[in-house]
Structure 1
Amino acid sequence: MKITKILNNNAVIVMDGQQQEQIAIGAGVGFEKRKNDIVNINKIEKLFVLKENEKLQQLLLRIPEEHFILSKEIITYAEKQLDTKLNDHILLALTDHISFAIEREKQGIHLKNKLLQEIKILYKPEFEIGLWALQHIKEKNQVEMPIDEAAFIALHIHTMKIKGGDLHETVRQTAIVRDMVETIKDYLQIKMEEDEISYERLITHLRFALSRANQYEVHSMDEEMLQMIKRKFNVSFRCALEVSKKLSRAHGIELPEEELGYITLHIERLRHY
């Protein structure tokens, strides 16, 4: 493959045997190279068809090379920690995000992540990777990022896992969980300790309850047990009903009564913790 354009030391545009241009990514793949030089295929880590990745080319020309390297190092670390291959598209999405975040931070612009607490619980392994990424950025670029950024990075990593899903849908689901928790807080007039295990269990259960509702699955519960829960934990069950009503009005999601029984148990535990 011949080089048709050098983007930076780690990215070049090459022409393959079918006369198709591709972006070749790899450590040092463009170092001391010129147009028409033969690329060292042993240095190529990823290949992207150019016509499908014009945004990647534009990004590589626009951002500082060290930001691209940072992103690659974070992706490599994430794949090792999660023992899974991330979707190739994460290179574009994460590099763009990290570069923009670093520039914002240098300008003193700090973005708050309203879903920070929920992300910490729902996507714990990815959040730990996000924390590592912040430390890595600090060591490599001398830029100290707020913990909110670890949550943003965690979302990118989660949605780029093979079965991670869509970023917008992940954010939507996480925001709905947060709204459900806020409804419980307001209804019971209580303050939840976000580092308590009962809070973590509630968050996790609500996430899976949403998932089951979206897939039309039912978390079964014996009818006699359900009636006992409704009778014995009346306040918590009415709170669960309020959560269900708001969920239906705001998002058109219906929770079956059996699911409310399980949510009631989590709410009851919070009330008396």
Structure 2
Amino acid sequence: MKIKKVLNNNTVVVSDDHLEKIVMGSGIGFNKRKGDEIQKDKVEKIFVMAEENERFQELLKTLPVSHIEVAEEIISYAEVSLGVPLNTHIHIALTDHLSFAIERIEKGFTIENKLLNEIKALYQKEYEIGQWAQKLIKERLNIAIPDDEIGHIALHIHTAKEQSNSMESTIKQAAILKEIIEIIENHLHVKVQYESISYQRLIAHIRFAIQALETGDPLHTIDGEMLSLIKLKYHDSYICALKIKEHLKKEYGLEFPESELAYISLHVQNIFNNL
């Protein structure tokens, strides 16, 4: 592989098999020039990003090397932890996002994430990776990122999973859950405990129901006698479930069948009982 361009001491652009590739490795570009052969034993990562190559190259030239290295370490750790390759776009998206977040923190700006609780519940494994990243950033850069930023990192990682939805869809799911919790809290005049088992069960059920509606998969069914009993015994929780149904239909075009409302009523009642 011959060098076409040196981006920094650790990153070069090469020509290999008639393809332009970005190669990373410690010191791989040090004192190198166009046309030089690279040492294969120094190669740690190779990227073929097609139309995104120019954008990635620009980032690698303009962002601090320390930020790039930390982002790449987080991505590698995430792929091992999740056991799946991440979409190559994360090398641009996460690196760019993380560097900007670090700069804001260094300047004293506050990072907020209004969907943090929902992200923690919906994407637990990705959030754990974000927690690992928080420790790494403190260790490598001596920057203390807040938990809100862990949530942003988790979203990027989840979105980059090959079979996952877009960032827009990922955020939408978390927003829906947040709105549902607000409806429950306002209706029952309670404060939901985000660490409770009843909350975890509710969000797992809602997540399944939304995905089923969007993909056309079958939802849970319930017999008429049980439905009538739930509506009678847990009347207030059922009214709350009706409010949730109306909200989702109005705001997102999602329509839950009556059988689904029965299950939501039970989850709402469990939240109330366990306060």
Same fold (TM over 0.5): yes
1:178 corresponds in structure 2 to 178
CA deviation after TM superposition for structure 1 residue 23, in Å: 2.1
1:37 corresponds in structure 2 to 36
1:226-247 C-alpha deviation (Å, 9 max, x unpaired): 2221121111111100110011
Give the 5 Å matches for 1:247-266: 247-266=248-267
Q: Does 1:163 align with 2:163?
A: yes
After TM superposition, the score normalised by the length of structure 1 is 0.94
CA deviation after TM superposition for structure 1 residue 51, in Å: 4.2
1:80 corresponds in structure 2 to 80
Gapped regions of structure 2 (runs ≥ 5):
none
Aligned letter for 1:76?
S
Aligned letter for 2:169?
E
1:27-82 C-alpha deviation (Å, 9 max, x unpaired): 43323322210123441522224643211011111100111100111111112222
Select between 4-13 and 45-54 the one with higher mean Cα deviation. Answer: 45-54
Tell me the number of residue pairs that the alignment of Structure 1 and Structure 2 aligns. Answer: 272
What SS does structure 2 have at the residue aligned with 1:53?
A: helix
How far apart in 2 are the matches of 1:214 and 1:49? 31
The CA RMSD over aligned residues, in Å, is 1.5
2:239 corresponds in structure 1 to 238
How far apart in 2 are the matches of 1:39 and 1:221? 65
1:72-94 C-alpha deviation (Å, 9 max, x unpaired): 11111112222222122111111
2:191 corresponds in structure 1 to 191
- Work out whether residues 4 and 35 of structure 2, in 8 Å CA contact, stay in contact via their aligned partners in 1: yes
How far apart in 2 are the matches of 1:50 and 1:222? 54
How far apart in 2 are the matches of 1:146 and 1:191? 23
CA deviation after TM superposition for structure 1 residue 22, in Å: 2.8
Decide whether aligned partners of structure 1 residues 51 and 208 sit closer, same or farther in structure 2, where only a CA change above 3 A counts. closer
- Work out whether residues 24 and 48 of structure 1, in 8 Å CA contact, stay in contact via their aligned partners in 2: no
How far apart in 1 are the matches of 2:112 and 2:176? 18
1:9 corresponds in structure 2 to 9
1:125 corresponds in structure 2 to 125
- Work out whether residues 181 and 192 of structure 2, in 8 Å CA contact, stay in contact via their aligned partners in 1: no
- Work out whether residues 222 and 259 of structure 2, in 8 Å CA contact, stay in contact via their aligned partners in 1: yes
How far apart in 2 are the matches of 1:200 and 1:49? 38
